[in-house]
A and B are shown apart, each in its own frame.
Chain A
Amino acid sequence: MNGGAGVYELVVNGVARAVEGAHPGDSLLHVLRDRLGLPGAKNACEQGECGSCSVLVDGALVCACLELAEAAAGCAITTVEGLTPAGSEPGDAALAGDVLTDVQQAMVEAGGVQCGFCTPGVVVAVHDLLARVPDPAPHEVREALAGNLCRCTGYGRILAAVEQVVTVRSSATMTPPGAR
């Protein structure tokens, strides 16, 4: 399984990153965390059950632990570190990390964060949900987040955070609902 060191390029948060010396079987999660210095996606089960490693690959929500890193070459990968507020471009270094998205802000304010290990995955999953469904019904939110295990909150404050985002987005006159 250590058949040779791979050299390929991943486009992560809008930036092309060379990956050198990776094992061919390395997961996208391992490469992001341990080779590219992006530990935002977490390693809680490494078998696609917990959603802690949720990232977007070409806009699709996936568990990075189940993706072969090399197979994601050429795809646009967005991790929690690359989420940016509405109106800015992914990978905008001036914004990423310094300004919270409305989802991140709501998670902090509503108490959706305790230990925080599931949080990056939840944040990515909520962004994905609200991009697809701007005004989800409560059961749709629960279903969309059912792939993101949280052991601390019992989900109540996470659901409250989503509700807060939906309310603010739908009442914002300057921004069409769901835009980001």
Chain B
Amino acid sequence: MTDLQAPPSRRGGSAGGHVGDSPIRPDGVPKVQGRFAFASDLQADGMLWGRTLRSPHPHARVGALDVGPALAIPGVSCVVTADDVPGAATYGLIASDQPVFARDVVRFVGEPVAAVAADHPDTARRALDAIAVRYEVLPPLVDAAAAADAPSIHPDGNVIRRIVIDHGDTTATGDVVVEGSYEVGMQDQAFLGPESGLAVPDGEGGVDLWVATQWLHEDRDQVAACLGLAPDAVRLHLGGVGGAFGGREDVSMQVHACLLALAAGRPVKMSYLRDESFLGHVHRHPARLHYRHHATKAGDLVKVEAEVVLDGGAYASSSAAVIANAARFACGPYRVPNARIEAVAARTNNPPCGAMRGFGAVQVCFAHESQMDRLAARLRLDPVELRLRNALGTGDVLPTGQRITGTAPVAECIRAAAAHPLPPPAGPQLLERPGGTGRTDDPARTRRGVGFAVGFKNLLYSEGFDDTSEARVRLAGGVATVTCAVAEVGQGFVTVAGQIARTALGCDAVVIEPATTVTAGSAGSSSASRQTWMSGGAVLQACRLVADQVRADLARRLGVAPESLALGDDGRIRSLSAGRGGDGGAQGPVDVTVAEAAGDRVFTASAVHRHRPTVPLDDHGQGDADVSYAFAAHRAVVDVDPDLGLVRVVQVATGQDVGKVLHPVQVIGQIEGGIAQGVGLAVMEEIVLDRGLVRNPSFTDYLVPTAADAPEVLATCIEQPEPGAPFGAKGVGEPPTISSTPAVVAAIRDATGVDVTRVPVRPWDLV
């Protein structure tokens, strides 16, 4: 176990830079200087500003559209609509069902209808106002549970995907049964850097796009299809990415900017304002869940029945994968011998939903953990004991029939979270009390509560998806140059890639080349907690190929057999049998780093990393769909002002299954950041919908935790190396966001006695 609560001075950036150290981020210095170029910072000579006209209605027929008045405004260069899309009219991650621009019908508030390019953002904004669109408003379909039986709002139908998991004896019953209904509101990724990109036409019909995204090659393919161009005529380059959290998996402004640039024959920059950003990317699916848990009197789970409805919004995005996750992880990280799970993602006229950190596991975790607390109360068992009693471990079988072959230290996570010290009572400072300085609670009436929750999800893509990653490594003059198209979105892959190269090659200097579709194959998406494993694995593999070349070259130069030299995991080449004849030639035994052995000679290798194959779920929800799982447990402490219903989350303690810590500072950063987002969903974050209208598309009304809201975090990493993962490291980004939410809600229930069944918890839910 690694306790990440050491003093900051011991955890600060260290110079070593190898795996297990905490070197500073290679992009850290330009970022603190304000010199790092984010996508919204990009400029080009002769650049125009692009803006998007969006539907004000959740559902309407689109009639006459007159762009003439916009084109008449001085400074306006061009306007594009559905008529100007030369290639595929639609795009999408899994199903191509979302129009580049609405043609006959708009299906959500904010759906793009047209885009303009002008000499100044204000000119573009006035041009949008000048475009006349006639809408015939239609009643919106906003109830996902009713969508299956409602008239179709899209040619692909209203059911995006339905999954049934039948496991064991679905007629089994337990001594005790607890039942509950739960609801999860729509959360937003709320990354700070708005959707932005700069499209530059190449004068030969092609286009270069610098863009903030999570997956360059997937964007490239979708954009090229819509532009009717060959993929190599569309070159994507990573613009600096100001956070992502799933919200940049889908195309937003990419096609629009390229269309405008090609139409204008000039560079076009698009950068959303915050209100547009809230409408312009997918959100976390709102959920309604109904559960029935069966258990023995002693507290062993017998069966879980679950019905899960996710609101997919108007377009499919990644809903088909999110609902599969919700189904697979619906029972939580417990041994559940029998299960019946029915999960549906349905289409509505609400904003489209897709990927967000936790990807389907978040919604069901709130429900299954609420159920575990109900069960503990019914059985008069300690909630932690009940969870330990049923905790999954290696060798156990999941409701999908998949046996866990990797590490599954669920009990260790639970014990570690529970072992952290509890915080002292709230002090006299207002900021330490519910409501902070804005309101004052009555300290005598403030109640403290403690809650517990456990969660898990898959690492890497699942259900047969072969999400490979390619990397190239060049070693020369002691410098390793890594080329890989990973989208660095803030997670720190660029740091980890350097650590891997230094460790595998024994060099000090590492250069990470810019990510682009021009120089590298796909690295896959920066999502599913996959890049350290997949692209880290590709970098490691390429380094080892380079090292092998160096070893062979050294052997040739020394006149010894390559087999007499061994490559160590520490990036050194050593004679296998020091002191005996032939191993080091005339110069004696060899013990050098790969980089030293390479000297000024140039060695280059490429590698494509693959994970072991998986299969789709069958009609009964059975199949080995996942590569690996990561687990975490959270204990939350809250203070609640029962008069105003205000909650202060005081502390969150966690035990997390990480495989191996590659960079202690970055791991604690992921854990603290993920917990903040989980806390946000628990007590403040929700896109408020009213008959399809978004009521709070701003940081004034969509609240994310501030420095005054964020709890103290105590973290313990459980290090059990995962077979098949580079260095045994599991992805660490998502688990902190999954069970932190139900832990906070359990603490609120503990403090207030109110049976809260919905997140985010609002003041009026408590008073």
Contacts and interface: CB of A to CB of B under 8 A. Distances in A.
B435 to A, nearest CB: 13
B431 A119 contact: no
Interface of A: 1-2, 23, 25, 30, 33-34, 37-47, 49-50, 52, 79-81, 97, 100, 103-105, 107-111, 113-120, 123, 137, 139, 141-143, 145-161, 163-164, 167
Contacts of B708: 142-143, 146
Contacts of B28: 107-108, 113, 116
A34 B49 CA distance: 11
A99 B711 CA distance: 33
Given A52-B192, A104-B32, A111 B669 contact: yes
B676 A154 contact: yes
Interface in B24-39: 24-25, 27-29, 31-38
B672 A153 contact: yes
A117 B243 contact: yes
Interface stretch (B165-173, B468-476, B487-495, B744-752): B487-495
B637 to A, nearest CB: 16
B672 A157 contact: yes
Nearest to A99: B33
Contact of A154 (B13, B190, B710): B710
B3 interface: no
B713 A47 contact: no
Interface stretch (B64-72, B98-106, B175-183, B698-706): B698-706
A119 B669 CA distance: 14
Closest 9 CB pairs of A and B: A40-B34, A115-B490, A116-B31, A117-B242, A154-B676, A154-B672, A49-B699, A156-B672, A80-B34
B372 interface: no
A107 B32 contact: yes
Contacts of A79: 34
Contact of B25 (A81, A108, A118): A108
Contact of B431 (A104, A120, A139, A158): A139
Interface string B684-709: 00000000000000111000111111
Given A46-B273, A115-B192, A154 B34 contact: no
B22 interface: yes
A108 B707 contact: no
Contacts of A167: 9
Given A23-B122, A164-B9, A42 B669 contact: no
Nearest to B9: A164
- Tell me whether chain A's interface is mostly helix, strand or loop, or mixed: loop
A115 B8 contact: no
Contact of A111 (B13, B242, B677, B707): B13
Nearest to A161: B8
B386 to A, nearest CB: 29
B192 A50 contact: yes
Contact of B31 (A45, A49, A105, A113): A113
Contacts of B396: none
B608 to A, nearest CB: 28
A153 B670 CA distance: 7
Nearest to A33: B41
Given A2-B122, A104-B32, A142 B707 contact: yes
B402 interface: no
B666 interface: yes
Nearest to A80: B34
B516 to A, nearest CB: 19
A79 B192 CA distance: 19
Contacts of B271: 43
A43 B668 CA distance: 27
Given A47-B700, A110-B12, A104 B33 contact: yes
B707 A158 contact: yes
B669 A41 contact: no
Interface centre among B189, B193, B705 (most CB of A within 10 A): B193
A170 to B, nearest CB: 14
Contact of A119 (B31, B489, B700): B31
Given A33-B41, A104-B33, A146-B708, A117 B193 contact: yes
A49 B700 CA distance: 6
A159 B274 contact: no
Contacts of B38: 39, 42, 116-117
B704 A149 contact: yes
A174 B690 CA distance: 61
Given A142-B707, A158-B707, A116 B432 contact: no
B183 to A, nearest CB: 24
B587 interface: no
A107 to B, nearest CB: 5
A123 B33 CA distance: 9
B581 to A, nearest CB: 50
Contacts of B623: none
A41 B40 CA distance: 11
A164 B706 contact: no
Nearest to A22: B120
Given A111-B22, A115-B192, A149-B706, A154 B32 contact: no
Given A39-B37, A42-B193, A143-B431, A153 B706 contact: no
A80 B700 contact: no
A117 B243 CA distance: 8
Contacts of B164: none
Contacts of A157: 8, 665, 668-669, 672
5 contacts: A1-B126, A40-B33, A44-B193, A108-B25, A139-B432
Nearest to B705: A154
B192 A44 contact: yes
Contacts of A34: 43
B445 to A, nearest CB: 21
Given A42-B38, A151-B191, A100 B33 contact: yes
B278 to A, nearest CB: 10
B12 A119 contact: no
A116 B36 CA distance: 8
A47 B29 CA distance: 28
Given A45-B274, A151-B192, A154-B675, A111 B35 contact: no
B427 to A, nearest CB: 8
Given A79-B34, A115-B244, 13 more contacts: A39-B34, A39-B37, A42-B192, A44-B274, A46-B273, A47-B699, A52-B192, A81-B35, A105-B32, A113-B32, A116-B31, A149-B699, A160-B8
B744 to A, nearest CB: 13
B34 A120 contact: yes
A114 B490 contact: yes
A40 B25 contact: no
